[in-house]
Every structure is written in C-alpha cells, then in structure tokens.
Amino acid sequence: MKKIVIASIAALTVASSLMAEVNGASCTACHGASFEKKALGKSKVVSDMTHAEIATALKGYKDGSYGGPMKGVMKGQVAKYSDAELDAYAQTIGK
C-alpha cells in the first residue's frame, strides 16, 4: 500500500510539473477563460471536446497533421512544448 501511495504522489508531481510548463494565458486569450468560445469565430469550442480530442488536436497542430484556417497560428503556439506537456495540459481542460 505504501508503494502505491508513493507511486501515485510521484505521478501527480510529474504531471503537475508538466502542466505548469504550458502557458494557458495564451490559450484563454482567444478561446475564453473557460475555453467556451470559438477562437476568432473559427475553431471548435474546446470546453466541448474530450481530453483525448484536445491532446490529439494540440499534437496534430504541432506536427502539422491537424487544423483548419488557424493551423499556422496554432502550430506556433504549441511548437515549443513536448508531447508529454501537451498531453498533461489537455487533461486540465475539456471533459
């Protein structure tokens, strides 16, 4: 039991440190404080997406395999983050 608790705490610490790396303020500037808006009237409403859909979108923007009219803008926003950071951040938004 003690090993499980220690492992859980370690996993949460790693996830928390990864989440801290993504600058959420740049996201909410276009998507809204609760991700309730279509960014520039063109994107999906992020709060309606699942964590997995958000992670797929973020990583897709990064590698160029996802996106519509704002693809270039989003690629610049996510390019500096690792896939692990994007996965961790996706868990903090959406459903």
| Cα(16)–Cα(64) distance, integer angstroms | 27
Mean pLDDT of 49-74: 94
Distance of CA 11 to the CA centre of its chain: 18
| Cα(75)–Cα(59) distance, integer angstroms | 9
* C-alpha atoms less than 13 angstroms from C-alpha of 33 in its C-beta half-sphere: 0
Helices (H), 40-82: 51-63, 71-78
Task: Indicate the pTM of the whole model.
Answer: 0.75
Please report which helix (H) or strand (E) contains residue 50, including its range: none
| Cα(29)–Cα(10) distance, integer angstroms | 32
Look at residue 5 in the predicted model and tell me its pLDDT. Answer: 46
| Cα(28)–Cα(69) distance, integer angstroms | 19
Residue 17 confidence class, pLDDT cut points 50, 70, 90? very low
